Structure 1
């Protein structure tokens, strides 16, 4: 590889050190830093002189000095090479790129934010319900984004910061939400974010204070809980049954405590996939008005609906300004084309914008412009319609496989929406040991989908990213690991 030697050799014409020695010393430093490696052929003296704008004789003198010190080998008719055996001397320059291993000061550490996600390179991977990137219409995405990047009228949008987002996208998104979810809103009710987690983080900064009481499901989304706890809030869990969150329990808590916020996923509860019944939805809205708590409606999987029409979001029935609707757009697209959003009254939007501007001042207005066009030309609806047929088929196939291979071991309900099953084991077993055994057979089961305590042994198993062959293989591995676990740890 030929380097631009001028990038690491700087000549000071006013220095008392001869130029050839300046070059020599900096070449030694480059060898010590690993920029020039043992055995590597160096530039010829003529080329070196041209790059460094010096006389060829000076370059030759530098190489001769390097050779005399043992840093290079000069081979007749072949060239100059970095020596294979470098000199060992205490006078060798210390590598400049040796960076401190530890800070020289103390700082706050957050064990709460220890990354729960892991990545292990296995042939098969389970997750908590992700779309299949292989189904993404990359041609449509690249066409629209490329067109926006080349469009002259968009160039001025790249020249300034814009945390306000694309007004065009917000107009299209407002129309999309009105048609698909019954949300009668205006663009001024929307704040565009990078992700669901960013939305919840900004909200917690604005509406939560240390000591505030936040109600979450007894089983609930771990990332959201981490964010709420970071704000200093106190979490209290509410039981979840086949009709969703127990609203009678919410009422009882409100009678004895001041509740600031209830975080809920009424459409597809995480992780159990149940839906909040219509009666409980209306009661929760009534309680919010009566006791003055905020409802944060977390709605990530609304678009993935299979057998019966989805109930419209709680936010569509909110006439008291008590519901903040948090969701994502484009979950069925490639990850880089997805975006999050917050929907709430305009006075709160104005305050949330200030905090968004602190952590995402740049925004991504061109991406938002492209997403708006995908809505307007109908590409999103066409893509979703095609992918839903595939996901419905995969859901049904997964249900058949689970029943045939593991029906004696697990209980589950076929989900009407979303991209995951909720499985509970009929007999207690060690899920961690099970996942470790599966790992040895090229199946990665992340700890974030495992739920185990003295009352429950459960798993949230995503199906959207698996084709039929992958389902057969992974369930077969799981079944074999269960048999193996019985032998290792019989009950």
Structure 2
């Protein structure tokens, strides 16, 4: 055992305690079979002298390994490697088969790497951005939110507030959401109709996992949101693509499908169709609800930016006119404040909400109680509502300016309609323009915008993308359009 000390290397400058370094290295040698079961270790005094460390440090390391079962002590004889381990043949120092294998990067077991999950995560660091339609966090009510969050942390019964809560979410927030949604969207909810979630993606996952079976048919528009499609594929659903036009989803095409095959769910963005921003016409809304009741399919209504409408009173959600209990209504505060604050809501019949709450428990025991209660306070005090009124005014001004810039500078290269609401313009570029190449060139100029590839489920159907205006100031919008103008002129 004398050579053992040469295999142990103690770094007294390391943040890890010396006794833990020693115990970890001994464990590793036992695991690799370098020292076998039943072999006697050096005495604590001998090993301490060999490693130039204190004897008590060795004793502590030995005690740690004795407690874990790696070592065993024999009274009067010394300390030995435990004998209950199977005999392990030491691995050669250079194994040609495994010398390039890195278990930190590649697992030793196989799994199915599904292609639909390969989607780039947006981490935009560009100074300028014509994004997917995000809010401007620079005038979000962050001070009010931080005060409310702090209040939640330091007041009340800490055992209750900082412990486990309701899987459905903070009851206070569900109360305030019920009032807010009933007043602004014409819904008729109670807190029991609401499940607090971390965002629309979570709502989609719960609905897909809890309400769909493998092989179920789900209808989406051929221009749509990639996250919705990913969730339905993950659930094993069969995707049916429905066209959309200037009035939203083609309800007649949907009915033709329903006549031929069963449909379990329809995903729809009725207020502002994603990505084209058009509103679903009133007659189609009525027809859609009637079809849902007739053919028995669920409507998942994603109302991602209802609060941002710049003309008259916006059309109420489908959920507000749903008398048959066929609509699941989903929204979040992502567009209200910032994507960083993960608070959303899923609204439906009580039995469905209870079912999805039980499912939510196995993937996410609960949300952030402190944040949820802070949001409830902002709703109760009208702070969110005042922020929205301010946002709508500012975003309307930015929309008008951005559309004016597009018309005066880029009308030869793209076509668009001024959106009635939302935070982005759907721009259709000339077919001769390679949007992917243009997006990459813009990024080199510190301007981010999407090439539109994720929104189009039919290759080459439309050479279009969303150009967000809400998160940029007037000066930033001018700079962004100027960069695009110069890049397109070169072509």
TM over 0.5, yes or no?
yes
* Counterpart for residue 108 of structure 1: 112
- Counterparts of 1:89-488 in structure 2 under 5 Å? 100-119=104-123, 121-329=125-333, 331-447=335-451, 453-484=459-490, 486=491
Cα distance change on mapping 1:394 and 1:20 into 2, 3 Å = farther
Residues 224 and 455 of structure 2 are in contact (CA less than 8 Å); yes or no, is this contact kept in structure 1?
Answer: no
Q: Residue deviations 1:95-151, cap 9 Å, x none?
A: xxx854321111121211112334353332332101011121211010000001101
Q: Distance in 1 between matches of 2:455 and 2:483?
A: 20
Which digits, 9 at most, give the CA deviation of each residue in 1:226-247, with x for residues without a partner? 1011111111111111111111
Quickly say closer, same or farther: Cα 1:278–1:469, change in 2 above 3 A.
same
Q: 1:16 aligns with which of 42, 52, 55?
A: 42
The CA deviation string for residues 54-95 of structure 1, in whole angstroms up to 9 with x for no partner, is 9xxxxxxxxxxxxxxxxxxxxxxxxxxxxxxxxxxx9xxxxx
Worse-matched range after superposition: 111-120 or 275-284 = 111-120
Counterpart CA distance in 2 for 1:455 and 1:4 is: 58
Structure 1 residues 324-351: Cα deviation after superposition (integer angstroms, max 9, x where no partner) = 1111136321334341211111111111
Please state how far the C-alpha of 1:433 moved relative to its aligned partner.
1.3
- CA separation in 1, counterparts of 2:353 and 2:294? 24
Task: Please provide the CA RMSD for this pair.
Answer: 2.6
3-state SS of 2:271 partner:
coil
Unaligned runs of 5+ residues in structure 2 are 1-12, 27-39, 60-92, 94-101
Q: For the residues of structure 1 that align with 2:309 and 2:45, how far apart are their CA atoms?
A: 73
* Distance in 1 of aligned mates of 2:408 and 2:432: 20
Q: CA deviation at 1:266?
A: 0.6
Runs of at least 5 residues in structure 1 that lack an aligned partner in the other structure = 28-47, 55-89, 91-97, 487-491
- Report the Cα offset of residue 186 of structure 1: 0.6
Change (3 A) 1:120 1:309: closer
Q: 1:450 to 1:297 in 2, by over 3 A?
A: closer
SS in 1 for 2:162: helix
Supply the distance in 2 between the matched residues of 1:451 and 1:334 (Cα, whole angstroms). Answer: 22
Per the normalisation by structure 1, the TM-score is 0.80
Aligned-partner Cα distance in 2 for 1:185–1:9: 59
Aligned length: 422
Q: Which moved more, 1:116-125 or 1:261-270?
A: 116-125
Aligned-partner SS, 1:215? strand
Distance 1:312 1:120, change over 3 A: closer
Looking at structure 1, the residues matched to 240 and 295 of structure 2 have their Cα atoms a distance apart, in angstroms, of: 16
Shift of 1:440: 2.1
C-alpha separation between the residues in 1 aligned to 2:201 and 2:347?
Answer: 15
Distance (Å, rounded) in 2 between the aligned partners of 1:182 and 1:477: 43
Tell me if structure 1 keeps the 8 A contact 2:275–2:455.
no
Q: 1:449 to 1:174 in 2, by over 3 A?
A: farther
Contact 2:226 2:454 in 1 (8 A): no
Rounded to whole Å, the distance in 1 between the matches of 2:113 and 2:177 is: 39
> How far apart are residue 4 of structure 1 and its match?
7.0
> SS of the residue aligned with 2:218?
strand
1:381-415 alpha-carbon deviations (Å, 9 max, x no partner):
11111122111111111111111110122111111
Do 1:431 and 1:450's aligned partners in 2 also have CA atoms closer than 8 Å?
A: no
